[in-house]
Structure 1
Amino acid sequence: VCGTDTLGVGINVPIRTVLFSGLTKYDGRRQRQLQVREFAQIAGRAGRAGYDTVGHVVVLAPEHDIENAKAIAKAGDDPKKLRKVQRKKAPEGHVSWNEAVFDKLVNGTPEPLVPRMQVTHAMVLDVAQRPGDAIAALDRLIEESVVRPEDVERLQTRVRDIVEALVAGGVVERLDPPDAEGRTLVLTIDLQRDFALNQPLSPFAIATLELLDVESPEYHLDVVSVVEATLEDPRPIISAQVFRARGEAVAQMKADGIEYDERMELLDEVEHPKPLRDLLEAAYETYTQGHPWVRDHELRPKSVVREMAERAMTFSELVSDYGLARSEGMVLRYLSDAYKALERTVPASARTEELTDLTAWLGELVRQTDSSLLDEWEKLVNPADPASLDRAQAVADGEETIRPVTTNERAFRVLVRNAMFRRVELAALGRWDALGEMDGEDGWDAEAWREAMAAYREEYDHLGTGPSARGPAFIDLQVQGRTWHVRQTFEDPEGHRDWGISATVDLDASDAAGEAVLTVTSVGPA
């Protein structure tokens, strides 16, 4: 039996043996050595309770230690040769381990479990919906939980801070006197049934949504940026974005004749994309004046989901574009968290058709990549929904559970629109090879795309890819059974709207592939 351990550092090989490829792990912030408790948890899989009495645990030494051991063995017992052995050191920045670390993990006492109970906005909302005094109920929950005495007062104060924030944000109202069921708090009536605040900064996000211009063509993207700023950073993506931004900055600075030393200083200021940064930071400062405890949570503006939406990217395109193959799991987890936050945090009053479409698209993207991330969550959110129960049970039984991608028509329409607009973006950038890879089998190889767009350039000197070019006015979709016909019109500078891309969509092939399968039929005037 082979597979990767849940902690990401061990792999199971024949049944009674656990093989550690290393004694370090990435904990989301940094690479560090395993704790005794973590080592014991993984090593404990060497054998099955009730079946095996003996298990084996093998740990591979670091590569530089292995090379040193080989060199020493080759030198033998000759003192002169041993003195000449050039021992390799661990790579710079590498968190290493040795036999002493191994012995400590084998014989050490597991670290004590420390209670880490947290009171969240979602917890307060859940209790507020039950009969009785919500604050008193939470106080009892804290007192009866396994927490240290010094934490009781801190957590109970946290409850009151959250209640004040929810009241100030208009999310809940106080009842004085209590209602017939003893409730002292009640949710405001304009929130959807499954509304929840899943992040510490969710109340701030709701307050900030009121600052956005709902009439703006980028409103739905701005909502995404507000929500993304409340989520933890997916570090592999952020690092890749910073690396790319610095590479582009260096190229521009060289073209501008900036000297090396000055370039290095300027590079320190280059960051990953942060849409709405000024608005978000100003709103954060204002919000924290009335809710000072919010400063315990850092605002993190970023653009991951937004960039995917703007560039009409699929999950595989995002991974390929930024070289994230080794971090796919973390990327997918972030996209799942973003979808859940959009689905359950944004009030119904703040939703538009474009935002609803984007949310549906993101959920389907996550589901088609790994349905288990959403099926179990939906079971918890909608316990009475037979469909969610069936999918969650199928996951538990190890059965295939990915539903056809065309089942959610709203989300599939967005997938089709994105697939068409992706071709517009690539055409605007002149990336003929990428277009050829997408459509070469249908007769539209790189050269065919180059020739078609050369004819367009003879008439127009620009191809729009901004918010308006992505809008519904430039896409026409005709549904005809299991084959759809779609026309993506180009936004030309003269406003003629005569050029575009025509394609057919095969729904059966799309279900089999888990994504929109298009066949380009023409690129040119209608």
Structure 2
Amino acid sequence: MAQQSLTGELAAFSAELSFTLDPFQQQSCESLQSGHSVLVCAPTGAGKTVVGEFAVHLALAAGGKCFYTTPIKALSNQKYADLVERYGRDTVGLLTGDQSLNPAAPVVVMTTEVLRNMLYASSDALIGLSYVVMDEVHYLADRFRGAVWEEVILHLPPDVRLVSLSATVSNAEEFGAWMETVRGDTAVIVDETRPVPLWQHVLVGRRLFDLFDQHSSDQKVMVDKELVRYIEHRETADRMNGWGGGPRHRGGGGPRRDGRSVPRPEMLSRLDEAGLLPAITFIFSRAGCDGALAQCLRSRLDLSRTEDFDEVDAIIEKHTGDLPRADLEVLGYWDWREALHRGLAAHHAGMLPAFRHTVEELFVRGLVRAVFATETLALGINMPARTVVLERLVKFNGESHAELTPGEYTQLTGRAGRRGIDVEGHAVVVWHPDVDTSAVAGLASTRTYPLRSSFRPGYNMSINLIDRMGAEQSRELLERSFAQFQADRSVVGLVRGIERNEGQMRKLRSQIGDDSVLEYLSLRDRLKQRERDLERQGRADRRGASVASLSTLRRGDVVAIPAGRRQGLAVILEPDATPGDPRPLVLTEDKWAGRVSAADFPTPAQPLGRMRLPRHVDHRTARARSDLASALRDTGLIAPGRQRRGARAKAADDRELMTLRRAVRSHPAHGRPDREQLARTGERYTRLQRETESLRRQVATTTNSLARTFDRIVALLADRGYVADGEVTADGRRLARIYTEADLVVAECLRQGRWRGLGPAELAAVVSILVYESRSEGGILGATGPTAPIRRAVADTIAVWGELRTDEARFKLEPTREPDLGFVTGIHKWARGDGLAESLLASGDQGNALSAGDFVRWCRQVIDLLDQIHNTADDVEVAATAAKAVRAIRRGVVAVDAA
């Protein structure tokens, strides 16, 4: 559309821009101007925020208010600065957990949680609100914080226009259809065109190849032929040169360290030569990012320009000038500063916020040209680059190493290409022997990033819902959530499957005939099932016996491996009694040395005799293996023939099986000539019957699932006195103002006076167990606390949690996360005035001190909870202590750059 066609406020807004609106931006703004809410889905860097800024313009033009929400404080600060530059400080406010600037302004930037809390409190600030912008609305898929977005969407007054800005999601229409049902008229605008084209590459050593064959006329995605040939030649050369050219490993281990991976300094030099800097290299570990930066610092790599030194120093000083000088060494300040002077940096959540924000500003200004970052940088921080590099296509997802999904690949590479600066962006995958170029091509060419709701009712949400609208209306609201909308849509498919199966079952039933035949077929099915159960039980028993026998073997025992490639005599070199999976080291008479398991022993291992072994046996040398194998053969022991008491022997003793066999043989239908044909029909009928029952169970658990969970929560809250006769009690109103994962534990501890008598540092230590979460397994098992009052209060808090967990099991609810004691000593030291070095060393888990960034982040989480305690505690002493604790923690690195 031509710029001249713009009308009304859109024309006035557009006239102030330094660029022409893209078609999707114009369409979105026109829909907004026409009175619709809008959902805008477009790639990273496409300029979605222009639509949000137009909502601000419309609100101000009409004398109304606009709230601009973002998922994280850093984005809120960034957006606040943008809007202040445009409209001035008097017009724009900022509300985050740490800051409150001009909250009565007509335009307020805030985190989404702040708006959610306003809605629950029926804040006067909502009066006159006409527009809400929800930036990065796809965060509602976040399993920890996603529910907040849906709560806001469901609770906003119906006359408020909603501007939802999302990354490209493959189910935008589904999300839009839900928005239409809960918010009324909503225009869905989807644009999949990247403003800056993205080229895909693979870096093999120092050679950079295109990933796709640009000259292929085939409609299918084709990998560049020259790339394929080069990798094949390289793998052949690697095998011939002894670089370990074994089969490719497809698991979660990442690049094999075969000595051929290009070092990071060399990789960045190659990208610099190709004109592909600035670049972000994504490494899925904080330690990996720091290690990559250290590798570059040890080299001669320097990507800086001498004329930029003063500007770099000024920005460093702006962000870090208030840091205590004594802490700089602890923070690794000098190496960090040296890296910035050479145009290099790391960026991850473990860094001090002041350091992270320095890196962000330097990178955006082009003063840092290479950043090693974790994937958190891809989630909203405005740091686009010319090139994105992926060293691995596997990352740890919290439970296991998993391959990147197409959505994750798209999110990460979406940072490549700076609008208005770069003609094109570049994504580079670093090749190593585990990389399959066809899989990379599949990732790069698939655009699937479905949005899945993470919404589920919790204690705080439920109590607020009841307080605002009563239980019945609350239940109806939950049934209108995106989570239930998606669940109900899945039910449609399940019901269709049930109907299809029932149709096929009716046809099969007519073929089977009368009920007596069906009875016979049921007996046969039960017989077959019993035989399978006995076979399964037999296998389990045999494995159990084999495991037990392997655990008892001693060094020097001679056993017979009864089956497999290692069949024959073997001597035990190293016993192993690992519970459930013993794997002793053996040497066979064929000179093979290795570990065996229960899989090698279908019957229990029994010592046939013993051998005297030398004190030290080096089974890795051929000479030692040969001598021992010869001695083993000379023992004269003979491996017995294979013996196995199988399922048949076990079945002969089973009374139920024998009864079923007699019933089948004596049944009148057993003598029919078409018996086997009927049996095949009956098997299909039975299989469909089981599948249909499974589908019905899925439907039953899916339909109204959120409402049922809500009812269980309400029952538990009523049992504990937070709700009475459908009304929220005084204790319930306290719970309604506590926003933390362990909200009910906090409310109970305050109600029961469990935290009375503690000093500020002690209270901070105790409440930390309800917010802190170790990066490794550990949970409740940690230090018990440095002082007697802390130990008592920690024990009391854990007891409250334990009682709640028992109730949650009784009411069939998800358990509240267990307390974690890994931050108790560290936060106590810091709150009582100890130095940063001592506090860091006392924090963390399993002997690993926290990074400065993590330390600050957890301190601020504790501050947030202490603020809530200060505002909600009936006990004046506890409330005052919480306020003192906040002041004690908010010092030094915790107070600097609190964004």
TM-score, with length taken from structure 1 = 0.46
Larger RCO (alpha carbons 8 Å, 6+ apart): 2
**Structure with max Cα Rg:** 2
